[in-house]
Structure 1
């Protein structure tokens, strides 16, 4: 407690004053926790002082609270660039980040228990843990500091900062208090680190090995960067009693249909927790489980034994594939290539179709999604057309990010579809009575095709990489899709 209290006083977090008339002091409390080593032995006890933010009132104690974090897609894109250009990858951490933000409103806090010196209260000058606006105030201060040292803030992803000058390039991705620095100039990187340490209490963690829950390994000789979450998968399997389960080869059965829970069936399973853990995996490094997790997440409020068995099947699949790595392999091309697909009315409950797409850069996926469409499609062409529209939205975002940091191309971003009717519908001006009701998407797609932002090409269904993002597929097709997405078992990267 003394160590925490002394650090707050040293940081000039507050000053003791008499409580002004008409003001109130927010309560605070001590939170205690222990830190263990890899053997589970307690090595340290820690105390943290937190203000009770639940007592704050909007308009009086805070206004804005939103603070952005970098998109996983942006992080994967930068890691792919690091593989392409053999960039240095440096990690830094801001110590006690939330305590470094400046307060934007007048806030008073009662003195911490065991450290009351008088009847006075603490007038906060800097943020403290528990404040609703603490993360925002840190982000505001950080943004000002990064702009001051000469970096530009991305308009596409506000947590990406960059500087591209002739042959020198530096990119910084910020996840709250974690900094991922990518550069081809060590001298520039050293200067940035020095300036950051002048502004904040920073810790240099060296080359990126593990960040935001991702294990990052590098094979510089082969020009590859590998991402995995094996440690997290083991934690999930242990948490839900699946550490010794028998593996399966695919995350979901072919043509699997889930029904609503029968009225007399007990649904008392840790379903939401399990699905939440799987969603995190699917979003970060495992596109191969995305479709299965998307389907299972639709039954969080109406689950039965069938759905729980579906969750356990995904975990059994992870048991056998925990060593899969998302591998970015150096390629001379700057092009991002997309694949989009859709099933048609396979959900018997509402007959809405499923959209799936993935975008590949440096031989591995940097973006992917699987989601239920918002309206019922009246034909396979319409379902595929809706998928093309969703893929185009993501493609435009990727193009803008690519262009903003000096990696843009004049040519259209290629997206492959396995439905020729949908491609013709998007590429021609012909009027058809059966498709007039999809007018808005029609014009959106055509406009971007005419402006050479995207270009759709036909690919045979057997070569559709996004197939396992829209349905359960056979083992052979599943292996084809994940290999094209860049998922490999190899300990090192090779073509």
Structure 2
């Protein structure tokens, strides 16, 4: 993937344009007091390395510091961020006498998701109890940290030989929250082979069917799709063909293609109009995908170790140890 910069005179400078990069740096130096620190290797907890295959982003040192802060000095590790079918509720366990450490750890985990999409869903879960965490929530945080301990060098790989085709996966876990029965939206976007955007977020409204939950997720995915296409266009990457969104709910796909609203879709009419409008305009193209191939599943629910490893591999993550 080529990294792009926007020049002050609207001229696009590509990553292999050494003369353009030199001129751009000279311009910045004339305008601001600055120093060239050379090739990027570490910035705000992000570790950056590169080779002929592309760029690697990780947060191994940040993760190591986080484990030290939590006091995890033993060697015990786990194979998944959370146990299968784990259900966290506000009243499980006993209230923590001091919630400071819990909040600090969860806040740090949120920042760790910048390069660790494999923990996005579980971090989204433990983040819901910041106001009044209990012992079970703290135990869940420790479980996440033990998973990180065993996958310290996991990170993102941005391929140098990938296409610039954009595609997405959209999914929802219907009524997955045991307390308020709201569903969870999950989506992810790939630019060629590189994962560039993802989300795991509880929906604002209770959905009355799995189709409704999936369609609300599809609407959120469409909104993200528009933002990414606009951003890529500003960077000189245009897409003349529709962007494919993979969805494993055929009913949601049928509603998107149906010009007639039925009684069961009136309450999601705005979402229907949003998706259908951009479907008709050729901005997106919906394709059915089997649940076994639904990459966005990892952002909506927990899985046993085998299935979880399979989904992580679909995210095109890499594990790079320092030389």
Q: With structure 2 as the length reference, what TM-score do the two structures score?
A: 0.94
Aligned residue in 1 for 2:109: 278
Match of residue 324 from structure 1:
154
Unmatched 5+ residue regions in structure 2? Answer: none
Given that 2:244 and 2:285 are in contact with CA atoms closer than 8 Å, whether structure 1 keeps it comes out as yes
State the partner residue of 1:339.
Answer: 169
After superposition, the Cα gap between the structure-2 partners of 1:369 and 1:456, relative to the gap in structure 1 and judged at 3 Å, is same
Instruction: Confirm whether residue 253 of structure 1 aligns to residue 174 of structure 2.
Output: no
Q: What residue is the counterpart of 2:133 in the other structure?
A: 303
Q: 2:279 aligns with which of 431, 435, 449?
A: 449
For 1:231 and 1:292, how far apart are their aligned partners in 2? 21
Question: Aligned to 2:19, which of 187, 197, 220?
Answer: 187
Distance 1:208 1:306 in 2: 40
Deviation of the 1:340 alpha carbon? 1.0
Q: Which protein has the bigger strand share?
A: 1
C-alpha distance in 2, partners of 1:488/1:264? 38
1:212 aligns with 2:44: yes
CA–CA distance in structure 2, aligned partners of residues 264 and 329 of structure 1: 47
Residue 267 of structure 1 and its aligned partner are, at CA, apart by: 4.6
Q: Pick from 232, 240, 245: which aligns with 1:402?
A: 232
Following superposition, the deviation at residue 256 of structure 1 comes to: 1.1
Alignment of 1:387-426 (within 5 A): 387-426=217-256
SS of 1:436's equivalent?
Answer: helix
Partner deviation per Cα, 1:435-490 (whole Å, 9 max, x = no partner):
21111111011001001111111100001101110000121221122112121225
- How far 1:193 moved relative to its partner? 1.5
**Given the alignment of the two structures, is residue 287 of structure 1 paired with residue 208 of structure 2, yes or no?**
no
What is the distance in 1 between the residues matched to 2:17 and 2:96?
60
2:182 partner SS:
coil
Looking at secondary structure, tell me which structure has more helix per residue: 2
Give the conservation status (yes or no) of the 8 Å contact 1:364–1:484: no
Q: Which has the higher contact order (CA 8 A, sep 6+)?
A: 2
What is the rounded CA distance, in whole Å, between the counterparts of 2:56 and 2:192 in structure 1? 12
**Are positions 1:226 and 2:56 aligned together?**
yes
1:262 and 1:233 mapped to 2: Cα distance?
27
The verdict on how the C-alpha distance between 1:247 and 1:151 changes in structure 2, with shifts beyond 3 A counting, is farther
Conserved 8 A contact 1:330-1:362: no
Aligned residue number for residue 297 of structure 2? 467
What is the RMSD computed on CA atoms of the aligned residues? 1.9
The alpha carbon displacement at 1:330 in A equals 3.0
CA separation of 1:295 and 1:232: change in aligned 2, threshold 3 A:
same
Partner-residue secondary structure (3-state), 2:82: coil
Q: Distance in 2 between matches of 1:322 and 1:264?
A: 30
Question: Does structure 1 retain, via aligned residues, the 8 Å contact 2:121–2:299?
Answer: yes
Flag the structure with larger Rg: 1
SS at match of 1:206: coil
Alpha-carbon distance in 2 for matches of 1:428, 1:331: 39
Could you tell me which runs of 5 or more consecutive residues in structure 1 were left unpaired when the two chains were aligned. Answer: 1-79, 90-145, 153-162, 171-182
CA deviation profile, 1:250-298 (whole Å, cap 9, x unmatched): 101111101223596445341111110000011x100000000001000
Q: Secondary structure at the match of 1:456?
A: strand
The alignment covers a number of residue pairs equal to 321
* Cα pair distance change 1:470/1:267, threshold 3 Å: farther
Offset of 1:364 from its aligned partner?
Answer: 2.5
Which one of 173, 179, 183 corresponds to residue 353 of structure 1? Answer: 183
Cα deviation per residue 1:55-93 (whole Å; 9 max; x = unaligned)? xxxxxxxxxxxxxxxxxxxxxxxxx433xxxx8x9xxxx
Task: Give, in whole Å, the separation in 2 of the partners of 1:268 and 1:307.
Answer: 13
SS state at 1:277 partner? helix
Q: Tell me, yes or no, if the aligned pair for 2:95 and 2:132 is still in contact at 8 Å.
A: no
Q: Distance in 2 between matches of 1:490 and 1:279?
A: 21
